[in-house]
Structure formats: C-alpha cells, structure tokens
C-alpha cells in the first residue's frame, strides 16, 4: 500500500506481537465500506452512539452551530465525550477517528490501517472508555475480518485485534471493564448474527452465534445482562426481534414483532429506559418504508407502538431517551419519486406516551442523520453526512434550531398508532469458535477540513479568534465562511 501520496503530517507505526491469543467472531458483511454505507442508509446500520445526557454540576454554555468535516468517505459513529466534545469514527484512508472539542474544533484526527489488509472501516462503533481512551469497532478487507481497536485519549494505539467474522457493528464497555460486541459471524448461513463478551485486552470470554438471523445492536442492562435488537425469521417472514441475555450470554426471553404482514420488519436499535423498560426503533416495509417505534416493559411486552412516515422511505438509525422521559429519533427521508415524499435528514421528538412534540427535516436529497441526542447544556447534538460526502455535525437548541439560521423546517410527517403482532420466538444460539489475532497498525495523522455553515446569533459574540478560521484538507489555514455574519 503506497502511503506517500496521502495528505498527512506524520506517519506513526504501531506493531504488536503476532503470537497473541486466539478467539472468535464476525459482524458486518461483504465488501466492507460499500456494505457498511449501504446498511446505514438502507437502515441496517446501528448507531453506536451515546451522547452524554443532562447531568447536574458545571454545565457548558448553550452554543449552537452547524459544521462539516471533510469531504471524506464518511463518519458513521459518534459519541459525546466527558469533556463536552465528541469522538467520531468511520472510513477515510482506512479507518478514521476524529476527536473534537466542545466548540467542534478538531483536537486530533487519524487514519488507521491494519497491517496485512487492503482496506479498513471503523464505522461500526466508537465509545469512550473509563480510562479516557476509546474502543472502536469495524471491519477490514483483503481478507475480510471483524476489527477492534483500543486507543488512548490522544488516539495512540494500545491494542488491535482482528476476528474471523464479517465485521462488528457495535462495541460497548461493560460495568466490569470488559466489552460487549455485536456483529455478523462467518457461519453456514448467508446471515449469522453474533454477540461476544471480551476481556479488557479483546480476548473472547464467550460468544454466541444466531444462525440465519441478523444482529444490529446490543447494550448492557442495569442487571448486568444484555438487550439485543435484530431481525428474525418467523414462518418464512422477517420480523423485528428483541431478546434479553443474562450476564453469561444465556437467553432470558425473546420477542418478534410484525406489522403489516407479509412485509419486512426489523429492529434497528434498542435502549433501556429509566424505568427498566425499553425503547425500540425499527423499520417496516409496506409499499413504502415507515419507522416503527415500540415502547416495551422490562419483559418485552408492548406498552405503546407508533409508525412514523412522510411518504417514500423513512429510515431510522437512532433513538435515545430525554431527561423528561420522552424520546428523540433521527434518520433520513428519501422519496421514491420527487412527487412522493420529501428528502433530507430528520429528527423526531416524542413525549413519554409516544405523542409527537416536534419533527424537523434538515438539508436535502442524500443528507442523513445518524444521531440526535441531548447535551449537558440542555440542547441537542445531531450528527450525519451530507450528500457531498462530508461529515455533518450540528449543535442545536432543545427545539432543534440554531438561532438566526434557516436550518431545519417542519417535517409534517405522520405519527400514528399501529398494531404489531407479537410472537415468543425460540431461537437457540449455536457454538462458534472464531479466532482472534493481534494486528499491527499504521496510524496516519491528518487534519480534516472544517467549515462552519452557521453559528447561532446569540453565540457569535463568544466566538474566539481561533473559531474564525479552519484548516482545509491540506492542513492550510483559511478564512472560515459564516453564512450569517
């Protein structure tokens, strides 16, 4: 691989002992970057993102802005960090990770290329760890394997592991300092879901493979177990699937949900709520595609259920609970024809009973959001990608707006009651023994171009001299364009 033509300021080498421990695994599929992007846009991607929810104590001021980073091949995962900034990961020249400050200014940005592989993607998931560093999930190509990368707070590689699977879509640190991972295994069927528990060094503690089923998302629950979202086959039909595992990976309960049979249903994401229940974001294909929202109790029984649609294709990729007990969802509208539906990134806020508070659409055709979540200041952060290939980050107020900027317009989409059929499924995981390998990594330091489209009118007086400039893709400082001077 020729690295000489890449726009970098430094090349750092990190090499690990190739005699490392063995393990097993496998998540996302196929030709890697194309598959990761397609699954996200089409609604198979799981956003592994959790922005810090409102907390007491010192809070950052409410600052609103809209910025793009790139252009690049796209950031697909983001998380708010303990310092009020954010970390994002995706695909650039290999896997890419960017750390930014509260004001959205890049602190560091690096490309990571595993040795012995032709390409890599870290768009599966990025999470801050208790030690202030980061754990990042994705996949590598040539040959295809699942990939985990542990970084310190400055983006330096602490360890790198590849696993005999198609890719990882999700990784999170658990309460015991270990990791829970979801993805796609290399098994006998075209789609084999995979859930793994790993120790702090990335070695496998246990793993479960679910033959011919899709696993999209996993997170630890407050009792030490795990809640999982995906798609399951029931009577030759694809249905949204939620199941609960105990701390050792044993099945506790499982439910399938079907709306508008015989169409395709899937659960994209599931989050535990403050009362021990769950909120689910999914998708239903029936003529067009609608977003399915399920509110469940702690045993997976439906409390309320909604369909959200604006005509055409309504794709969800994120759901999170707000401090008031309501929920935020984010995704993308796309139309089947220009006269059928609208296009753009969307945010929907509902109250604790599933009633719409507001919904807005941003940008246009081929723009999408992966995330909309609360910040410490009481506003929102929304993250996505533009149709031009740039990463798009917006700091918004609690109504989804930036004061003085014409970003966000009412979506006027419909939110209606629906009636899902629930089935108690009996899928049994099968044993798998995929292996894990320590992998050397080349890290390339780079400086992404940053452009500010908009700064809230109440915030402009607080902009520092540093904020009035940005670095282009060659690392050259340029004057920044303010849409509303």
For 382-397, write each residue's pLDDT tens digit: 988 888 778 888 999 9
- How confident is residue 138, by pLDDT bands cut at 50, 70 and 90? very high
pLDDT at 323: 84
Q: Judge if the upstream peptide bond of residue 71 is cis by omega within 30 degrees of 0.
A: yes
Average pLDDT, integer, range 414-433: 88
pLDDT-derived band at 17, boundaries 50, 70, 90 = very low
Integer Cα distance of 120 and 112 in angstroms: 8
DSSP label at residue 260: S
Q: What is the rounded CA–CA span in Å between residue 30 and residue 17?
A: 28
Beta-ladder partners of 123: none
- How far apart CA 391 and CA 479 sit, in angstroms, is 20
Closest CA to 40 of 306, 360, 391: 391
Tokens describing residue 408 = 């966000």
Q: What is the mean pLDDT of residues 122-137?
A: 94
Report the alpha-carbon distance of residue 38 to residue 46 in Å, rounded: 12
Q: What is the set of domains in the chain, with CATH numbers?
A: 10-479 (2.120.10.30)
pLDDT at 338: 66
Instruction: Calculate ∠ Cα 150-154-159, nearest 5°.
Output: 20
Q: Is-contact 292 305, C-beta < 8 A?
A: yes
**192-198: strand order across its sheet:** 165-173, 179-185, 192-198, 204-211
Question: The whole model's pTM is what?
Answer: 0.80
pLDDT tens per residue across span 47-71: 333 333 333 334 445 578 888 887 6
Average pLDDT over the chain reads 79
pLDDT at 91: 83
User: 100 phi and psi, to 5 degrees?
Assistant: -125, 160
What pLDDT, in 10s, does the model give residues 96-114? 999 998 878 889 999 998 8
When mean pLDDT is compared over 26-30, 157-161, 426-430, 439-443, the highest value belongs to: 157-161
**Gap between the Cα atoms of 431 and 192, Å rounded:** 12
pLDDT of residue 364: 87
Q: pLDDT at position 354, please?
A: 97
User: How many Cα neighbours within 13 Å face the side chain of 473?
Assistant: 10
Over residues 359-381, the pLDDT tens digits come to: 999 998 889 898 888 877 778 98
Question: For 153-178, what is the mean pLDDT?
Answer: 95
In this structure, of 126-135, 372-381, 457-466, the range with the lowest mean pLDDT score is 457-466
């Amino acid at each position: 691989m020729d690295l000489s033509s890449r726009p970098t300021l430094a090349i750092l080498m990190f090499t690990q002992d190739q005699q490392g421990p063995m393990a097993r695994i496998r998540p996302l599929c196929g030709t890697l970057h194309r598959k990761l992007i397609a699954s996200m846009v089409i609604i198979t991607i799981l956003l592994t993102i959790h922005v810090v929810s409102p907390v007491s104590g010192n809070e950052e001021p409410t600052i609103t802005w809209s910025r793009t980073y790139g252009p690049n091949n796209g950031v697909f995962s983001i998380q708010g960090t303990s310092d009020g900034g954010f970390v994002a990961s995706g695909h650039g020249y290999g896997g890419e990770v960017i750390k930014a400050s509260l004001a959205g200014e890049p602190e560091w940005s690096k490309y990571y290329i595993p040795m012995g592989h032709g390409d890599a993607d870290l768009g599966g998931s990025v999470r801050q760890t208790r030690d202030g560093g980061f754990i990042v999930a994705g996949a590598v190509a040539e040959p295809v394997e699942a990939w985990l990368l542990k970084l310190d707070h400055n983006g330096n590689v602490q360890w790198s592991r590849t696993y005999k699977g198609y890719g990882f879509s999700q990784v999170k640190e658990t309460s015991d300092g270990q990791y829970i991972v979801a993805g796609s295994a290399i098994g006998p069927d075209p789609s084999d879901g995979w859930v793994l528990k790993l120790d702090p060094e990335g070695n496998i503690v246990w793993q479960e493979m679910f033959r011919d089923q899709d696993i999209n998302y996993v997170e630890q629950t407050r009792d030490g177990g795990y809640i999982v979202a995906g798609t399951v086959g029931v009577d030759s039909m694809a249905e949204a699937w939620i199941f609960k595992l105990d701390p050792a990976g044993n099945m506790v309960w499982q439910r399938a949900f079907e709306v508008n049979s015989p169409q395709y249903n899937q659960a994209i994401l599931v989050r535990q709520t403050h009362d021990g229940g769950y909120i689910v974001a999914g998708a239903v294909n029936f003529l067009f595609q609608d977003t399915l929202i399920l509110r469940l109790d702690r045993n997976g029984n439906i409390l309320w259920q909604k369909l959200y649609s604006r005509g055409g294709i309504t794709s969800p990729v994120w759901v999170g609970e707000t401090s008031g007990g309501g929920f935020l969802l984010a995704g993308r509208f796309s139309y089947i024809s220009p006269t059928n539906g609208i296009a753009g990134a969307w945010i929907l806020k509902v109250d604790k009973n599933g009633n719409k508070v507001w919904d807005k659409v941003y940008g246009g055709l081929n723009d999408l959001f992966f995330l909309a979540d609360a910040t410490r200041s009481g506003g929102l952060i929304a993250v996505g990608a533009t149709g031009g290939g740039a990463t798009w980050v917006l700091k918004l107020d609690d109504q989804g707006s930036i004061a003085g900027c014409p970003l966000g317009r009412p979506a006027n989409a419909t939110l209606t009651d629906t009636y899902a059929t629930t089935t108690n499924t009996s899928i049994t995981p099968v044993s798998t023994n995929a292996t894990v390998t320590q992998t050397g990594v080349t890290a390339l330091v780079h400086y992404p171009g940053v452009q500010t489209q908009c700064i809230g009118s109440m915030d402009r007086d607080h902009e520092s001299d540093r904020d009035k400039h940005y670095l282009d893709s060659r690392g050259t400082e340029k004057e920044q364009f303010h849409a509303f001077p």
